[in-house]
Amino acid sequence: MISKDLVAASSRPLILSILDEEGESYGYAILQKVRELSKEEINWTDGMLYPVLHRLEREELITAAWKEAQTGRERKYYRLTQAGRNALKEERQQWLTVHNSLARLWRLKTVSI
């Protein structure tokens, strides 16, 4: 299981990357996606996602809109803004730098940044 601090730190790049990949998505689907990607190792409590999403929204990295889903209920869908895409590039670079540093120490494959 991933530690609490790492869960908190990685929430931002994960959300930005998922929205980049999916185009748009909503809270529950983002959570499911994170569980699936991490094979249940990254265990976000359901409630912690929304404050993070709202912070990203205030930073104008993502925008949100209420839309009617197929179920007939309304859902709040999030998508990346241009600033969000730029922030994601920055995040990606930082995380890969960390990744490569550890990879070199652990004699694993590095990736090009």
Partner 1 sequence: MADGSQLIGTIMETQNRFDLNRACLRWRQDLVQQGITPAEANELESHLHDAMADLQSRGLSQEEAFWIARHRLGPVFDLADQFAKANPARVWQDRIFWGAALTLVWLAWMQIVGLSIALLRTFGDSVGLHGGWNYLAVQIVTLLPLPVVAVLLARGTLSKICAVLTRPFFTPRRLATVSVVLVAGMLGVQSLMLYQIRSYLPAHLTGQVTAAINFFGSLLASAVWPVTLVLVMLRLAPRQKQPAA
- Phi-psi label, residue 23: left if phi above 0, alpha if psi -120 to 50, beta otherwise: left
CB of 106 to partner 1, least distance (A): 34
- Using the minimum distance from each CB to partner 1, give the nearer residue, 76 or 104: 76
- 32/110 with CB nearer partner 1: 32
Nearest-approach distance from CB 49 to partner 1, in angstroms: 8
How far apart are CB 90 and partner 1 at their closest, in Å?
A: 21
- Cα dihedral 11→17→20→21 (10° resolution): -120
Shorter beta-carbon distance to partner 1: residue 10 or 100: 10
The DSSP bridge pattern shows strands 62-68 and 24-26 to be: unpaired
Nearest C-alpha neighbor of 19 from the set 67, 73, 85: 85
Minimum separation from the CB atom of position 26 to partner 1 (A): 8
User: Using CB under 8 A as the criterion, which residues of the chain lie in contact with partner 1 when the complex forms?
Assistant: 26-29, 32, 45-48, 50-52, 54-55, 58, 66, 71, 73-76
Between CA 1 and CA 5 the distance in angstroms is 12
